[in-house]
Structure 1
């Protein structure tokens, strides 16, 4: 609910641990990483209010993880409109709550991810060894159209690509070589926009530079992405761009229609058709996520 208005109808698996575990059992999923619904990241709120809200939400995530008897892992959220409070909550997430990482938006208010104001937060995440998961939040602002289908199909992917562009071309990954960052939905449209962006970068700098080209490629390959792209034909480029070892199974569970089945079917079909090697599929189904989370 948003006040007295129905915002979205959701299923009990969103908040009820036994129901969620039963849904995982129905499709043979052993473990799942739960994370905040992006709308709850609260970037529009006052910093103090956001810190209080997100702190309580993080407590509830930790309680759900404990109640799952090892079946669930968790990501928390931090009030990035107040960097000092965000760093304090990041450390609490890791050291007190025992969650595995932090979810952030693709845009922090009016700040892109390469904004200087965010550098102290990235430094703290690198120092603490806390991985970050970037989920789109501003799909409506990323396109001219705000209708739901366009926002879902184009806006979110564009928003994510802009976030990845900021990380790669804006110096974030250069400044923090130990930072682990994953982006949702196959990194949006970035796998397709990257070559043209790199070409534009070369033009601005006065021409192609093989050393910079190789360096940019190495930065892209540091990113982690999920496989929620809805079509196995898209996975070869995603795997080529980021490396199959940096792909993880993404589901958007419990949202979408049959999210677990849809995500698993896309990956299974990619293996059955030889689009991905069986060994790659096996790692995407688990080990890669363990590596990203540092487990």
Structure 2
């Protein structure tokens, strides 16, 4: 098993200036402090009631929409969770709000102050624990202009590294011209956009067995990737930094159909200038596949430089021992393992954004 060196705590060094790059988890979620307090007071947090299930886990209720979070660790604040992810071998968490709180269906008047509150709290995390946390803003995407402004504020004033966004916005895919200003702003700012499922549009077909997660989430991510590719969006924003959750859903497994469709279907060639598989290699994907074979396939499809560590902490569908798991994947070379754990995200986010100023 590969030894994991903890920068800043172990005194590791390498040829890039005497320090080992940290192990970075780009896929970690939190429940805002205001929402945690709402569970005690009974008052809604920006339109959402927060309840505690019989198992002690959070339940979020917004209008008729009710969703349970699968772990009691969502109640933990930034200090309480440090020991857990440190023990798992992770040095830095890149934190975003739990996706059920994206809530793009709310009125903008409710969503904008909620986003401000979430992002201000993330700023507090990253300034109080600068060696351990980086933040991804939430955006009120039901108001594109406000989202562009908030992304600028998040990066330039709050010091966050980008934003987490849903795979669609109220049913609107990312090839929509309406959403292009957000992508352009992210590209101009050099901000990472982490794309995560938020509200599966096939839940009616998946009512049992939690398949809305097992199948619905990868479906949503695949649709987001397909929309960006076939809509020609990646030609509009060629330098954008996009990271997709859960190994990119089914996109890598479907790449052959993407390319074949491009060759034989005129509507699939209307906008993109290149083969879909070429665009796929411009994107980043997290490692959360729960299968060494699937992870190997993603790497073979998009390249070893395009995969970064993601755990989905603290979700029950997450990866509890990510470093041990990556280290145990016999089909990966040591260079590929280090790429997933450290090197690729250091290029994606720049090393200076992952280390506090000395």
* TM-score (norm: length of structure 2): 0.75
Could you tell me how far apart the structure 2 residues matched to 1:256 and 1:169 are? 33
Q: Which residue of 2 aligns with 1:282?
A: 338
Equivalent in 279, 287, 302 of residue 219 of structure 1:
279
Equivalent in 225, 232, 236 of residue 296 of structure 2:
236
Name the SS for the 2:215 alignment partner.
helix
Equivalent in 250, 253, 262 of residue 313 of structure 2:
253
Query: Which blocks of at least 5 consecutive residues in structure 2 are unaligned?
Result: 1-38, 40-47, 53-58, 60-67, 352-358
Query: Which blocks of at least 5 consecutive residues in structure 1 are unaligned?
Result: none
Q: Which residue of 1 aligns with 2:241?
A: 180
1:110 aligned to 2:171?
A: yes
* TM-score (norm: length of structure 1): 0.90
- Report the Cα offset of residue 215 of structure 1: 4.0
Instruction: Select the structure of larger CA radius of gyration.
Output: 2
- Report the Cα offset of residue 206 of structure 1: 9.1
Distance 1:241 1:128, change over 3 A: same
Equivalent in 240, 264, 268 of residue 327 of structure 2:
268
Structure 1 vs Structure 2 CA RMSD? 2.2
Name the SS for the 1:114 alignment partner.
coil
Could you tell me how far apart the structure 2 residues matched to 1:140 and 1:70 are? 38
Could you tell me how far apart the structure 2 residues matched to 1:266 and 1:200 are? 35
Distance 1:151 1:86, change over 3 A: same
Asked whether the equivalents of residues 14 and 254 of structure 1 are also in contact (C-alpha less than 8 Å), the reply is: no
- Report the Cα offset of residue 53 of structure 1: 0.3
Question: For residues 81-126 of structure 1, what are the alpha-carbon distances to aligned partners after superposition, in whole Å with 9 as ceiling and x for unaligned?
Answer: 1111000000000011000010000001121010011111111111
Q: Which residue of 1 aligns with 2:117?
A: 56
Name the SS for the 1:166 alignment partner.
helix
Q: Which has the higher contact order (CA 8 A, sep 6+)?
A: 2
1:65-104 paired onto structure 2 within 5 Å? 65-104=126-165
Asked whether the equivalents of residues 259 and 277 of structure 2 are also in contact (C-alpha less than 8 Å), the reply is: no
Could you tell me how far apart the structure 1 residues matched to 2:88 and 2:139 are? 32
Distance 1:207 1:24, change over 3 A: closer
- Report the Cα offset of residue 5 of structure 1: 4.4
Asked whether the equivalents of residues 182 and 224 of structure 1 are also in contact (C-alpha less than 8 Å), the reply is: yes
Q: Which has the larger share of strand?
A: 2
Name the SS for the 1:250 alignment partner.
coil
Could you tell me how far apart the structure 1 residues matched to 2:267 and 2:148 are? 39
Could you tell me how far apart the structure 1 residues matched to 2:307 and 2:144 are? 30
Could you tell me how far apart the structure 2 residues matched to 1:215 and 1:144 are? 31
Q: How many residues get paired?
A: 288
Q: Which has the larger share of helix?
A: 1
